[in-house]
Amino acid sequence: MSVKELALFAGQGGGIYGSMILGWNTVAYVEKNKYCQKVLRQRMQDGWFDNGEIYDDITEFNANHAHKYRGLIDVITGGFPCQPHSVAGKREGASDERYLWCEIEKTIEIVRPERLFFENVRGLLSDAAIIDVCRIIEGLGYQLSAPLLLGSDDCGNIHERKRVWIYATDPAQQPRNACGTETTQHKKQSASESRNSNQQFSNARIRSFEQLLSESNVPEPVFCGMDDELPDRRQQLTAIGNGQDPIVMATAYRILSGEFL
C-alpha cells in the first residue's frame, strides 16, 4: 500500500522526485510561489507527478482545507522557509515574519499523519529555532529522531548542498516496533517495493534527450542559439536554489526511518 504524502512548501518539486524514488503517492501540494505552481501543474500534466490539489498558502490551507485530509495522509513533508535560519541572511529565526512553524504546527494538529519529514538549511542547527521546532514536534506527541545533516556530496554528487533532515513518528499510529523501525518482514517487502518503484521510475518516466528533441512541440531556440530561453530565468534559478536534491531526500528518509539498518 502506497504511502500518501501531503507536501508543504513543495517548491517546483525537487522533494517530490524524492517521493517518487520512495514510491510514495503525493495527494496534495501547498506552495504559494506562482512560478513553482506552474511547474507543478506542468509535471502533473506530463504524467510525472501525481494529480492533486495545489493550495496557495499554508495559512489559508489550514483554515479551510486541511481538515479534509485528516486520516488520509501517512506523511507530511516540507522544506519550510530557510531564510530565517540561513547564514546568508539576518538569522532572525522565530522573529522573522517568514518563520512559519506556528502554521506547520496547525497542519500537523489538524491532519495528524503517522510521520513527519522536514528539511532546512544547515544553519538551522546553530539557530535557537531548532529548539522550538523540536519542542513543538514532541509537544504534539511525536517521537523525534536526532536531526540528520546530509548533503548532495554525501550521495555521490560534486557539490555539498548540506541540509538538515527532521524525522518524527506518532507512536500511537505505528504499525512498526517501538523504535519506529519496520519489522524484518515489512522491511523486506518495502525494499522489494522500492526496487520495483525505482525500476518503474526509470523505465516509464525518464525520457532521453533525443526523444525530447524529436517531439514536434519543442520549439527551436531563437536567442543566440541557446536551448534555454530567457523567460522565467530568475524564477527558475530561485526555485532551483530553494529546491531539494531528490536523491538526498530519499536517502535521508531511508536512514532516519531505519530502512538502511
**What are the catalytic residues?**
82
Euclidean distance between CA atoms 33 and 151, whole angstroms: 25
Pairing relation of β-strands 143-144 and 148-150? unpaired
Q: Which helix (H) or strand (E) holds 138?
A: helix 129-139
- Cβ neighbors of 163 (< 8 A, separation 6 or more) are 119, 120, 121, 122, 149, 150, 151, 244, 245, 248, 252
Residues 114-126: b if buried by 16+ CB within 10 A, e if exposed = bbbbbbbbbbbee
246, containing H or E segment: helix 246-257
